[in-house]
Structure 1
Amino acid sequence: MPHSDQTAAVRFAATTAVFTAAHHVGDYWIQTHDQALAKGRPGREGRRACAAHVATYTLGQAVALAAADRYLGLGIRWRRAAAGLAVSAATHYLADRRAPLEAIAERIGKAEFHDVGRGHGCLGTGAGALDQSWHIGWCAVAAAVVAGPERT
């Protein structure tokens, strides 16, 4: 494996870890209760709450990425970082508006799983599992965008 590919692989591994950790902090510790309740509502209130959540979530990922880059010497190019953070933010917003993720689940045959636990006041729901797996998957895609080879 050429050196630049090894470097990209190291950046990808580190960025994936950083984005995943920052995801959990942003989604569970930084997000306010009001944002969590309102972000899926229709209209301006829902859009505003979701945008506020995604803004703080993305800021957390950016700070974590900058710290990792500085202390680990990852050599991240900031245009790539901005593009990766944009991927993470856009896909996070899409899922957290709830209706789009539910529509995707229905379209691919996951509607029944999506509805597991709905209306029963339980923490573990199909919708929650699909939401989190969506976010983690897109964190990996965003990390690949950030890590890309040095030749671009």
Structure 2
Amino acid sequence: MTDTSPAAVFAAVFVALYIGHSLGDHWVQSSCQAASKGQPGWKGRLACARHVLGLTATKGAVLAPVVLALELPLAPVGLVVGLSLDAASHYWADRRTTLARLASRCGTPDHPAAPATAAGKPAAHLGTGAYALDQSWHTLWLGITALTITAI
């Protein structure tokens, strides 16, 4: 028997979205999309839109078998509203200047694009401060999305 309490459903939806996000943001996104999505004008907007479309499809592809296997009581409208909110928030953040402006207004210290060692040489790393801000923003919205999907 599947636990369909709201907390269990929220947890299952969040985990599926988190897995889908990780796959979509790191494996599905093309190098061209990653390099172009923050550029000004239509080139950047279209690259970001293509990235968000692939990302949202990946989240849906990961979420669907979880919903079916666990027989989660979700309304289609909740899925549409939640995934739409998530896609919009992801697009907004991935245009880059928007999230950077918010971080600056919040007083978040500047993070270098390329971390360096004490000797001033490039440091081995998995990401930058900007990457951490980006991913934490997306994780916040994964939580909002899971709550929306579960509550509607």
TM-score category, normalised to shorter length: 0.7 to 0.9
Conserved? CA contact 2:115–2:128, under 8 Å: no
Conserved? CA contact 1:18–1:61, under 8 Å: yes
**Aligned partners of 1:118, 1:102: CA distance in 2, in Å?**
16
The answer for unaligned runs of 5 or more in structure 1 is: 1-5
Cα shift at 1:66: 1.5
**Counterpart check, 1:134 vs 2:132:** no
Q: How many residues align?
A: 142
**Aligned partners of 2:66, 2:136: CA distance in 1, in Å?**
24
TM-score, normalized by length of structure 1? 0.88
After TM superposition, list the pairs within 5 Å mapping 1:139-150 onto structure 2.
139-148=142-151
Number of the residue aligned with 2:84: 86
After TM superposition, list the pairs within 5 Å mapping 1:1-150 onto structure 2.
7-112=5-110, 115-118=111-114, 123-148=126-151
TM-score, normalized by length of structure 2? 0.88
**Aligned partners of 2:89, 2:62: CA distance in 1, in Å?**
19
The answer for unaligned runs of 5 or more in structure 2 is: 117-121
The one-letter code sitting in structure 2 at the alignment partner of 1:142 is T
Conserved? CA contact 1:85–1:142, under 8 Å: yes
Cα shift at 1:10: 1.2
Structure with greater proportional helix content: 1
Show CA shifts across 1:8-47 (max 9, x none).
Answer: 1111000100000100000000000000000000000000
**Aligned partners of 2:53, 2:84: CA distance in 1, in Å?**
11
**Aligned partners of 1:47, 1:33: CA distance in 2, in Å?**
15
Cα shift at 1:73: 0.6
